[in-house]
Copies of this chain bind each other. A is one copy, B any other.
Amino acid sequence: MRHGAAYPGAVSSASTGAAGVDPTVPAGVVELVGLAAYTELAEFGLLAARSVDAPTLAARQALADGAARALAREHALLRLVSDGSAEAAGQVLGPFAGAFVDFDVRTRTDDWAEGLLRGVVGHGVAQDFARTLAAGVQGHVGTSLRTVLERPAPGREAEAAAGADAEAVRLLDDLAVRDEVLAARLALWGRRVVGEALSLVTVHVDTRPHLAALVGDAARTLGADGDPRSWLVARLTAEHTRRMDRLRLAA
């Protein structure tokens, strides 16, 4: 069933009608999945690059394994809305190709630890964004999406340890504990990176009507008051603060 007529008889709500993409899934959800999946492909690249120049064999292996987990999650996301073919992946990811170039350029660094933190912070904000929007998605695709994106509950560390950037978090925590000066520099760097990440999120929301609509749906579902866009940024900022606390890199 890996061809254009994979879902015969279904009414398409997506504008593309692309080969291999499930036409029963609303276009906004395909867009959200595309963003979340592209985020995992980017995370693969960030972790793999830090693996290649890792200071120890153990770190190199652990970051490579984390990169492979990010890629596995990307494929799980793509299969939620498509037949998993390369053509479908291209259709779903295509609109986001190059979406992080500005972020990459503005947060470029030659420092290994800063590069690692850039990945943890950027990927963390993007994942929190996708999770927040998924909260407002109705039906079984919403349930499946939340399952793939869901963060393990507090106390379920064994599952958390399987997250793509768990090893990056552990390595950064080790470095910060051993070196106060580095910890202070990384805390400052984290604030700069999160500023760029939040700025990128608002650009996506402002330029993609489907994503803006999902922000509104999520705000209603989660009982938020006031302007959904401001609520989103406040929510992502709070999640970032918790993340930096866990890294013991709070300012």
CB within 8 Å of B: which residues of A? 41, 44-45, 48-49, 51-52, 57-58, 60-62, 64-65, 67-68, 71-72, 86, 89-90, 93-94, 97
With A49-B49, A52-B45 known as contacts, the answer to whether A71 contacts B65 (CB < 8 A) is yes
Contact A51-B58, Cβ < 8 Å, known A68-B68, A71-B64, A71-B68:
no
The distance in angstroms between the C-alpha atoms of A132 and B14, with both chains bound, is 53
Residue of B nearest to A61 (CB): B89
A48 x B52 contact (CB < 8 A): yes
Q: Which residues of B contact A61 (CB under 8 A)?
A: 41, 86, 89-90, 93
- The answer to whether B57 and A94 have CB atoms under 8 Å apart is yes
User: From A96, which residue of chain B is reached at the shortest CB distance?
Assistant: B57
| Across-interface contacts of A48 in B (CB, < 8 A) | 44-45, 48-49, 51-52, 64, 67
* Cβ contact of A57, chosen from B57, B64, B67, B97, cutoff 8 A: B97
Assembled-state Cα–Cα distance A63/B249 (Å): 35
Determine the residue in chain B with the shortest Cβ distance to A93: B57
A90 in contact with B51 given A64-B41, A64-B45, A71-B65 (CB within 8 Å)? no
Q: Are B45 and A51 in contact (CB under 8 A)?
A: yes
Given contacts A48-B52, A61-B86, A61-B90, 18 further A-B contacts (CB under 8 A): A41-B60, A41-B64, A44-B64, A45-B48, A48-B49, A48-B51, A48-B64, A49-B49, A49-B52, A57-B90, A57-B94, A57-B97, A61-B89, A61-B93, A62-B86, A64-B71, A68-B68, A68-B71
Q: How far is the CB of A215 from chain B (nearest CB, A)?
A: 26
Contacts of A58 in B (CB 8 A): 86, 90
- A89 cross-chain contacts in B, Cβ below 8 A: 61
| Alpha-carbon gap, A73 to B49, bound state (A) | 20
Taking CB atoms, residues of chain B closer than 8 Å to A65 are 71
A87 CB to nearest B CB, Å:
9
Which residues of the other chain, B, contact A41 by a CB distance below 8 angstroms?
60-61, 64
Bound-state Cα–Cα, A94 to B65, Å = 17
